[in-house]
Amino acid sequence: MHRRDLFALFGLGGSVALASGLPLKALPLRSASAPFIPVPVPLPLPGDGLSAAEQQRAQRRVSVLDRLVLPPGYRFDLLAVWGEPLADGRFGYNNDHLSFTDLGEGRALLTVNFEYISPRPWSEGYSEATGETLPWDELIEAIRPRSGVVDVTALEAADPLRALARAVAGAALRDQGIGVIELRQEPSGQWRRLRGRFDRRLSGLEGLDDPARRLRVSGPAAAVFRNPVRLGSNDGLGDRVIGTFANCAGGETPWGTVLSAEENVQSQVVEAVYADGSSPAPAALPLRCDGRRLDGLGNAFALAGNKYGWMVEIDPRQPQRPAIKHSWLGRYRHEAVAVAARAGEPLLVYSGCDRHGGHLYRFVSEGRITDPTDPANSVLLEAGRLEVARFEPDGSGRWIPLDPSTRLNPQRPSHYAAFGLQQPTLVPHSDRSQAGAEALASDEAVEAYRQRYSTLADLYPGAGEERLGAILIDAHLAANAVGATAAARPEDTVIDPSSGDLLVAFTAAGSDGGGRSDPAIFHGPNGESRWPHGWIMRLSDQGPARAGGFRWRMLASGGAPWQGGLGFSGPDNLAVDRSGNVWMVTDRGGGSSDLNLFGNNSCWVLPSQGPGAGGAYCFATGPMECELTGPCFDAAETSLFLAVQHPGESNGTRSDQAGEWQTIPLRDRRGQAFEQRRWVPLGSNWPSGVPGRSPRPAVVAIRRSSGAPLL
């Protein structure tokens, strides 16, 4: 579809300037501390410039809008939307991390991650977005008698249900992965997309039909994949991989490549592995499609689970260069990657595992950097060591190597009991013929486990690369076994260019069926062991020495001001500009008043200096039920690129002006309680704004109308 046709379809016009104005009624902001006029949010903030009485008057009755809202004087340009043609595929769904590659002379590349499928808006908008027919309802009806679940691997090749399942699962996997688009900046400052030779699309089924397009694997896990003797199943592909999916966060290397993180693969392929790193058969996670959930996509194509959950490197300037999954960076629910490359030192790569009780990891290369910009540095990712963080309450910490010789020291359940919590310790199953984890519910059980297995070498059989590969494939449980700190969903890591420190976004302290964050480290302002509003941490690493140390402190806390927070909830992706200002987007959950009070997900600026230092100021709020993700800048820092992910995720397409009134408990700056009546649209029509038209994920470029720098 031609771009002019696309704009006409969305009713956007050529300039796509829809983003000025205030989303909330009667909410003037008089703060002189912020480097821009902040976008109002539906709760009182310390920096809103209002007295307590004015806060109550302004916040008594508000309306939320299904729009991308920016400060006065800013605008956005729509760059790419789900369904547009891209290379030999299409621009994917739920765009997440963005990486900007400057080509000079007003040209650039934008590398985009496509994370997952939101079943309701995806199925509702599929035909309009792609021009294809999706047999969604047919599949749901066909497997309804099976409770919405089918093991496609058990179906005969000629079974019509197999073709139906693969049609839906294939469409969903092809809408995930990685894309590269080319951009040009007009003299006016507007960015627009070009169709160029750099366009590239890597989908979740890349190489399914063409073996030459399969992904490579570097490091020890490749030896596991090549080994014909295994406890689990064999996909027959050796050390080659079909596709990449669940691509969430990411980052750039100083030499110009992009790292893309495979995160929640556990929903689509089997996550658990055997002691030798091999994967259970795909039948262990069948396809589920019941209208609300779309899981087990890998089952339809018999994908081996141990080949997903990695960090993928691509070079956006070399479309023909194969993508590589670097196994030395570990397999877990990757979200976040930050690269530190200093001449004369080993390469350092930091990443987080986004799960309750996940960990923060550091890779240290075997070789050393000579020139940080040398493209040959990619080879440094192919040999080194993976370490995992152990935090101490006094602000110190150390890195524990995930090495066969490392002694086991799992966290004792009594540690959680001291905080009034019950949390079993998950470790690799003591019966090493079984895949996955075992829950140790008592200190006595932990001690018995340690008596049986003293080091990681005792847990993972074999020798050399095969043993190392098994440890890296099972990195999360191996990290549990050596006593790594259970963290609060580490969702992003970035290097502060002014200090060299690592900034880490921890989205929420809580628990799920698989783990809980350590309340000795991750607790609310008043000691709350559950804190759904998260933090931004500053970590000062003390060098690349084996098992080296670090210092840490919380830089900012989420939560409402009367709870001790800065007014946001769920810090997710981070970016730091050249002045040291931290740009942060949120990923708050929903369904409860303590989270709903924060309104739509948003983008915030935390100034590094000046009168606003120490505060947080809202720069943008997103459309209904979306996340704003992947913040990054152009070379001049006159444009901010953002992805608008999953608008309308819960309620799908908004029709008939659907909405509801919510009653939200608030407190003014003096701590006085009052109630807000809030009108909230149900579903979304973004970016078109046309009632009844399906929402679509998209990528935008934000800039000042004047062409001046962002701040």
CB 623 within 8 A of CB 67: yes
Per the structure, how many domains does the chain have? 1
Q: Phi, psi (5° rounding) for residue 437? A: -110, 160
Structure-block tokens of residue 604:
């915030």
- Looking at residue 625, its amino acid is E
Residue 631 lies inside a defined structural domain of this protein: yes
Region 344-353 average pLDDT: 98
Residue 2 included in any domain: no
Residue 1 is assigned to a structural domain of this protein: no
Q: What is the pLDDT of residues 410-436, one digit of tens each?
A: 999 999 999 999 999 999 999 999 999
Per the CB < 8 A criterion, the answer to whether 611 and 32 are in contact is yes
Spatial distance between the Cα atoms of 217 and 323, rounded to a whole number of angstroms: 9
Would you say 218 and 327 are in contact if contact means Cβ atoms under 8 Å apart? yes
Q: What is the DSSP string of 228-252?
A: S--SS---S-TT-B-----EEEEEE
Question: How sure is the predictor about 47, in pLDDT bands with cuts at 50, 70 and 90?
Answer: confident
Q: How far is C-alpha 571 from the geometric centre of its chain's CA atoms? A: 11
Rounded to 5°, the CA angle 349-353-354 comes to 130
The whole-number pLDDT of residue 12 equals 41
d(CA 242, CA 621): 37
- Residues in contact with 273: Cβ distance below 8 Å, sequence separation at least 6, in sequence order: 232, 279, 280, 305, 306, 435, 436, 470, 473, 474
- Strands 617-621 and 659-667, bridge-based pairing: unpaired
Amino acid at 491: E
Specify the amino acid at residue 110. Answer: L
> In terms of Cα–Cα distance, which of 613, 646, 635, 661 is closest to 107?
635
Residue 63: per-residue pLDDT = 96
Mean pLDDT over each residue of the chain, to the nearest integer: 94
For 565-581, write each residue's pLDDT tens digit: 999 999 999 999 999 99
The conformation of residue 381, written as its DSSP 8-state character, comes to G
Establish if 243 belongs to a structural domain.
yes
Residue 593 has pLDDT above 90, yes or no: no
Q: What is the pLDDT of residues 464-500, one digit of tens each?
A: 999 999 999 999 999 999 999 999 999 999 999 999 9
pLDDT digits (tens, 9 = 90+) for 282-300: 999 999 999 999 999 999 9
Mean pLDDT of 220-241: 97
Looking at the domain assignment, is residue 420 inside a domain?
yes
Q: Of the ranges 113-127, 203-217, 259-273, 590-604, which one carries the lowest mean pLDDT score?
A: 590-604
In a domain, 399, yes or no: yes
Query: Would you say residue 4 lies in a domain?
Result: no
Question: Is 8 part of any domain?
Answer: no
Q: Reply yes or no on whether the pLDDT at 20 is more than 50.
A: no
**Mean pLDDT, rounded, for 381-393:** 98
- Residue pair 414/510 in contact by the 8 Å Cβ criterion: no
Q: Given a cut of 80, is residue 618 above it in pLDDT?
A: yes
User: How far is 347 from 363, CA to CA, in rounded Å?
Assistant: 8
Closest to 175 (Cα-Cα) out of 236, 229, 251, 122: 122
Helices (H), 328-437: 413-417
| Residues spanned by the domain of 106 | 25-704
Helices 160-174 and 136-143: crossing angle in degrees, nearest 10, is: 130
